[in-house]
Structure 1
Amino acid sequence: MLDSLAQTAADSELTGIAGWAVGLMDAIGAPGAAVAIAAENLFPPIPSEIILPLAGFSAAQGTFTVAEAIIWTTIGSVVGALALYLLGRLLGHERLAAIARRMPLVRVSDIDKTTAWFAKHGWKTVLFGRFLPIFRSLISIPAGIEKMPVLLFLGLTALGSAIWNTIFIMIGVTLGMNYHVIEPYMSWLQWIVIGAVVLVLVIWVVRRMLQNRAEGKHLLHGE
């Protein structure tokens, strides 16, 4: 069977995060989508909103089934979230905050805010937090810090992630089933998508750098 998704990537010179995700799915099938989504959990700026539709598109082209796409991406979400949960549980708030201070583009206040939100809303943050970009990754850390029961954490993470993943996978499936309609526009559509992702990442990085600089000045002056 021809790998339509890989051919599309080659024809349109798909690059960056999207090209990397396509390459994984082309090489190892649905488990490749799981790897990409696990990475998205560990490094939030990687956008699942790009990876998941690609998995759905691939499923529509017959590379693997829609069920496999949903199951494997959910597994990837759970594995990535569990890694952050264990990090929070093993290191605790103070040591994680100390590590965050030494990391570029990471703010201690992010950990403080998610910990406070978790303390206020409990298990709801783990379930509904999966629908919020960036936050859906960070919420796993305070869940670990507060020693939330691991089975409850895994169950809520799997449920929330499965819902989120299914929505975006089905968007990709719809695009894949109507590929003959969108094929003439693939070239400029993919550049619009890539441009939007790059713009969001640049804005996020610039804002984070400015925020870190402002926090550094406050600490320097003892404010």
Structure 2
Amino acid sequence: MKWGKIARICGRGLAIVVSLAVSAALLYAQDQNDAKPKPTETAQAAPPSAAPTSAPPAGTMRVANPAEVAALAASVPMPNEGQQFAFPLPVGVAPENGLQVKTIWAARTIGVLFQEITTIYGYRQDPLKWHPDGLAIDVMIPDYHSDSGIQLGDQIAGYALANAKRWGVNHVIWRQKIYPGVGGGNWTSDYGNETANHYDHVHIATDGGGYPTGQETYFIASMTPTPTA
């Protein structure tokens, strides 16, 4: 059986499991705390901007509390010893030039498990360190206004948080809410459009793990050799 077919079968199966567990928890957390109406502007087809480091004005951004983050991460079933996918992850839709190893690992895993995703942005120049230092990816959500698009973004955000220790996730931003990972996280304000407010993409920032040497092999549940920060 060709690798691509195996990837589609395994990826789709785990993605379905993830979707059932993650979306309910994340949607509950957002429904309980998000009082703001959704923006109505249409995002332009351009790479999104990273979030600023200063605290936002009151009411413009809600930061998920530690209990929400812990509950969301705990709700995602992680691969156990009987579910270790042995095949190495291929280069996916994210350009990997300039990315560090944990960011690459996150991008490749998301590309296999969530094959609806066709665009992931990575390295770019920016005033903040996340994209210029290869620490962040922006996973663009197709049809992000629809219920299915929102659910897909919820699944990806939840999966990233469930892998926070493994990938060294610093923070996840989705739909104008920031979810701190193992390293805390930045804050984001209301920038007046859907891209800047992360309504059309999930922003995932990691601690990097160092730049690749070309000898790395990425799997869903592990990476070799073990990177050094």
- TM interval, shorter chain, is under 0.3
Structure showing greater Rg: 1
Query: Normalization by structure 2: what TM-score?
Result: 0.25
Task: Identify the structure with the greater strand proportion.
Answer: 2
Query: Normalization by structure 1: what TM-score?
Result: 0.25
